[in-house]
Structure 1
């Protein structure tokens, strides 16, 4: 009965459109009030102990670094660089948009932030070049999902904390899958553009122009090099890398790009703080929710049910992936990672799946949730930027949904894509 109260109240609050972090906390509170064996104080303790973690300090710092770089004038520079390489090809503008999202993902660590930063510039530019607005928006919305796959990725940090795995290894594991997704998206963009006769800019490639654009974007391109190079060079931890990213982003935005003024700082800090608080609240309440799950031995029951489905490890892994696809449609990525990692990771280990490989699979699968209704956060951001209604935009991203599913299947079948650099 306690389990029914826990999940029933949680989904009841979700139906009432209560924010996910608050819904988790209220579900825990209702369950504690119902059960005489559970003290209400554990909720407060869960909020504190879950966030009292050195590794989690990376989350607000990476968010702040993303805000600084997002407002620091890097979007145009990254697009100009990408456009040099692919702009002259069929569908070159759209392909450059995907590349720009990939570059920006290595800075922001967030899907919606990538869509917001790139979409406001690229969607009008693509429409001006003759692209259909729905297709242009679908490209940005879908490529923005790479923000949580290509490191530094906030959900990968959360998985590392929840599953007690190396965040540095997870960052390295996300590189090739993120690139694969980007390449497959670019391939689909080319095929679609060929069909619709979306021509390129007809601007010839020259090394001189490439060097000029590369020089303009050099400070932005150094961010992932500094972060990953510092972590794997043993210079600093992932959390310290986040702090370094903030300092570097501030220097670049103020001194080199000169796109941020002193009066912008309070707004940037406010936005970064609000985003950080939302994630940390979800972490705290999800920890209390997870504690209740453990007390009721629900993870073990779910694990036993999964393992009884089949003796084939691939079939069981596919069942987990299908479950995560469904979860991504309804639950925020951060909350899903925190709640389901303790439940699903032991099952994956029982199946002989490497924990780093499983972590990347989990994040890639949940990234698809950014473009699937009813939650589809990227859809809402893209709809707000372009003015296209949600139903029309949801239909426009269907091909990209299958593109991402294809990429996910390749990552499942070829684990070295994740583990090569470890």
Structure 2
């Protein structure tokens, strides 16, 4: 009914939807008449993966591609009955920690709606705006601070493009470079805590969310420093925005006080979780309420209609994430039931030796997956496969999680999918191909940080150990 009612005034769309329903009905009837009999001898994992990538290739959304692969594999091999698949989906998507996702997503939406991100931009500008390429540094530093509150890369890419890119272009930066800085710095919200990606990984790997949050602080600062360094070198080479006089300390202090009510959120979330006062989910509730009170009642930046529209949009995004997690659970279950992780471990041990070799294999797989899949589905598929192998080799699952998140997030700025690049280029009306070329130095810089994280575990797990 929904398909036939959608765009009913467009004859071409109506015919296409009707044919889709007819084909789906014929396939459904065919299941009772041995349609899948020739596939019964095929490995369920192989059949599932092939079906998944074929569906993805013809434009089926990721969640439905995952479900299609699972149901096809199980219908052909009878490895799981259909009710068990649904039960797996429900069980996997109802973990308590996943409740934090809609709360932090909502916080990010209200952060932009309430004009609170502008206060962070003013504070960042007062600190680094005087440097060569100052607005590029402001862009990166703003993403670092916003990431500690919203945890959403897409939201950061969209808001920073709307606010900062026009100003950068007006001051002489090329549009492609401005979008490249914005898109590459938008990886930070999924690295600096509290990040949505960390919550998803914690639910998959069963690791402490508090440890994971703490582990993201130093890598996020390193990534921000590298991105600012690349911005500086390019700004010097192209003579973008010469250095100016440093802002007076009175201006810095004033902008800090304006941004302080927002910065309190990050400190409260991290401190509360680290010292066991609140859980990650409770921290999300507190952050949401605090952001709502600031934007609606203290600064009076929006009315109830804008609030409703923002919440409706955020509700859709949160539902998409939840449905994606649910669809990935039986997908991973089939792989584990087929002992695919064990086979990967055995294969990897025959061609490489030690942690370094395993990291090389992992990085290659992550880079390839990140180019075609979004961060969340790629992590939900890859993490269960490599987690046993890496932990057996002595790699801390928290260290592994941060590395997985960063490398997969770089897929958001890599062709052909490059979601963050497309968001920024579409809003700024810049050619995506030009932005993809401009973002290459930033990707190279971020990969240097990834190599350091692989070689020095202290950069991820050390801060937690120092805090006792």
Shared fold (TM-score, shorter chain, > 0.5) = yes
Task: With a CA cutoff of 8 Å and minimum separation of 6, indicate the structure with the bigger relative contact order.
Answer: 1
Q: Please give the alpha-carbon distance, in whole angstroms, between the structure 2 residues aligned to 1:345 and 1:258.
A: 47
Cα displacement string for residues 200-239 of structure 1 (whole angstroms, at most 9, x for unaligned residues): 4735421111111111111111111010011112211111
2:206 counterpart (164, 167, 179): 164
| Stretches of 4+ aligned residues off by more than 6 angstroms | none
Residue of structure 2 in register with 1:247 after alignment:
289
Q: What is the aligned counterpart of 1:8 among 50, 53, 58?
A: 50
- 1:113 matched to 2:155: yes
TM-aligned CA distance change 1:310 to 1:202, over 3 Å: closer
Residue 299 of structure 1 aligns with which residue? Answer: 341
Is 2:66 aligned against 1:24?
Answer: yes
Q: In 2, distance between residues paired with 1:297 and 1:26?
A: 21
User: Is the Cα–Cα contact under 8 Å of residues 25 and 43 in structure 1 kept in the other structure?
Assistant: no
Instruction: Name the SS for the 1:401 alignment partner.
Output: helix
TM-score (normalizing by structure 2): 0.88
- Most deviating of 296-305 and 140-149: 296-305
Q: Which is greater in Rg? A: 2
Query: Does the 8 Å contact 1:173/1:417 carry over to 2?
Result: yes
Q: How many angstroms apart in 1 are the aligned matches of 2:462 and 2:166?
A: 39
Q: In 2, are the aligned partners of 1:55 and 1:239 still within 8 Å (CA)?
A: yes
CA distance in 1, matches of 2:357, 2:86: 40
Match of 1:181 among 194, 218, 223: 223
- Secondary structure of the structure 2 residue equivalent to 1:178: helix
Q: Secondary structure at the match of 1:236?
A: coil
TM-score by length of 1: 0.97
Moved more, 158-167 or 265-274: 265-274
* 8 Å CA contact retained: 2:99, 2:281: yes
1:75 to partner: Cα distance: 2.3
Structure 2: how far apart are the matches of 1:33 and 1:346?
Answer: 28
8 Å Cα contact 1:43-1:285 kept in structure 2: no
1:312-351 deviation line (CA, Å, top 9, x unaligned): 3211111111111111111121112222222111111111
Q: Is the aligned partner of 1:325 residue 2:367? A: yes
Which runs of no fewer than 5 residues in structure 1 stay unpaired? none
1:193 and 2:235 are equivalent in the alignment: yes
User: d(CA) in 2 for partners of 1:205 and 1:25?
Assistant: 55
Equivalent position to 1:123, from 165, 180, 204: 165
What do you get for the CA RMSD once the two structures are aligned? Answer: 1.3
1:308 aligns with 2:350: yes
Secondary structure at the residue paired with 1:308? helix
Partner of 1:349: 391
Question: SS at 2:341's partner residue?
Answer: helix
The alignment status of 1:210 with 2:239, answered yes or no, reads no
